[in-house]
Amino acid sequence: PLVENFSHIKTCKHNNTTSDHVHTGNIIPVIDLLDPEANNLIIKACQEFGFFKVVNHGVSIETITKLENESINFFNLSQIEKDKAGPANPFGYGNKRIGSKGDVGWVEYLLFTTNPELNHNKSITIPGNSLLFWGLVKEYISAMRNMGCMVLEMIAEGLKIEPKNVLSRMLSDEKSDSCFRLNHYPPCPELLQALSGRNLIGFGEHTDPQVISVGRCNNTSGLQISLKDGTWISVPPDPYSFFINVGDSLQAMSNGRFMSVRHRVIADSLKARVSMVYFGGPPLSEKIAPLSCLMEEPNEKILYNEFTWSEYKMSAYKTRLGDNRLSLFEKN
């Protein structure tokens, strides 16, 4: 009966089986934001992986741990208390269900919008010291927005596109439709793992729809990224660094130079995993299209039709988590 209860959660083969190759990620680029060569290294990482790790980011460990501790306090509350902050449609507490099309994972989370000034989050009731909680969320989001903008400006410089805020302004715009999620992946019952002989999926494979995502987790492994050839790479956890994902919108704006990275989270059998991810998105009315200054290269074919972020988001929320959302906007 235990297995039956959880049979709707997907699994994947253990790391050491033959058909689902997983390597560890000492090949993942590490970018020192203070390195004078950072611009070019970021471009290279976005082209090869759509993913990289950032060090020397300037975000204080206090900003990080204060929010992490408050999140852990929240996820330690009783189910009844947590459910008061739900459901997560579109923002609030969610448990196992992801999106509205039947996707599930071994995860619970809080999903917030940053647009505008967190006002849409008003209906989310956080038990305990909610004023403290919202203060920490706001402080953390602002640090993530700054880092996202800094990286996007380095990308603009690396691509030699003007003005250098063409990408970052989408996140810094007060109407920016960005969001933020706190994820808690409870340890997966060992019995369950043993019975199925497989790993439970915490968060199924997908790409992020926005421009850029800035994530960070506690010292528990589980995140994996997919290489272009479909190989899965385990990303070693690093609580003091941030991980940057290229999103679908940046793939479109770069006319496919950068790939939005497919990624997933595998549940750990022993330790809980806590992650905090900021998804930097454009204002709803923003037109997303391959940047015209990149299209001046001889023989460059325009790969994507123009869309507004609002159109993309509407179509994205009708898809399953693992779907390729950008293919709908490919030029034929």
Per CB under 6 A, contacts with ligand GA4 among 198-217 are 206, 208-209
Beta carbon nearer to ligand GA4, 96 or 164: 96
Beta carbon nearer to ligand GA4, 149 or 182: 182
- The three state secondary structure string of 142-203 is HHHHHHHHHHHHHHHHHCCCCCCCCCCHHHHCCCECCEEEEEEECCCCHHHHHHHCEEEEEE
Is 326 a binder of ligand GA4 (CB under 6 A)? Answer: no
Per CB under 6 A, contacts with ligand GA4 among 77-136 are 98-99, 101, 103, 111
Q: Looking at beta carbons, which residue is closest to ligand GA4? A: 99
Is 46 a binder of ligand GA4 (CB under 6 A)? Answer: no
Is 315 a binder of ligand GA4 (CB under 6 A)? Answer: no
Q: How many residues bind ligand GA4 (CB under 6 A)?
A: 15
Amino acid at 23: H
Give the range of 49-57, 218-226, 295-303, 315-323 binding ligand GA4 by CB under 6 A.
315-323
55: phi then psi, degrees, rounded to nearest 5: -120, 165
Is 50 a binder of ligand GA4 (CB under 6 A)? Answer: no
Instruction: Give, rounded to a whole angstrom, the gap between the first and last alpha carbons of the chain.
Output: 49
By CB neighbour count within 10 A (0-12 exposed, 13-18 middle, 19+ buried), where does 171 fall? buried
Task: Note if 262 is an active site residue.
Answer: no
User: CB count, 10 Å around CB of 15?
Assistant: 15
- For residue 96, the minimal CB distance to ligand GA4 (Å) is 12
Report how far residue 330's alpha carbon sits from residue 306's, in angstroms, rounded to the nearest whole number: 9
Report how far residue 167's alpha carbon sits from residue 177's, in angstroms, rounded to the nearest whole number: 14
Is 171 a binder of ligand GA4 (CB under 6 A)? Answer: no
248: phi then psi, degrees, rounded to nearest 5: -55, -40
Taking a C-beta distance cutoff of 8 angstroms, is the pair 98, 90 a contact?
no
- DSSP letters, 10-61, are -EEE-TTSSSS-EEE-TTS-EEETT-TTHHHHHHHHHHHTSEEEEES----H
- Among residues 145, 216, 264, 273, the one annotated as catalytic is 273
Per CB under 6 A, contacts with ligand GA4 among 285-314 are none
Task: Print the binding letters for residues 173-192 with ligand GA4: x by CB under 6 A, - otherwise.
Answer: ------x-x-----------
DSSP H/E element including 253: helix 248-253
Q: Collapsing DSSP states into helix, strand and coil, what is residue 133?
A: helix
Beta pairing partners, 32: 55
Task: Print the binding letters for residues 2-41 with ligand GA4: x by CB under 6 A, - otherwise.
Answer: ----------------------------------------
- For residue 176, the minimal CB distance to ligand GA4 (Å) is 13
Beta carbon nearer to ligand GA4, 38 or 151: 151
Is 248 a binder of ligand GA4 (CB under 6 A)? Answer: no
- Catalytic positions are 273
Q: For binding to ligand GA4 (CB under 6 A), which residues are involved?
A: 98-99, 101, 103, 111, 179, 181, 206, 208-209, 279, 316-317, 319, 321
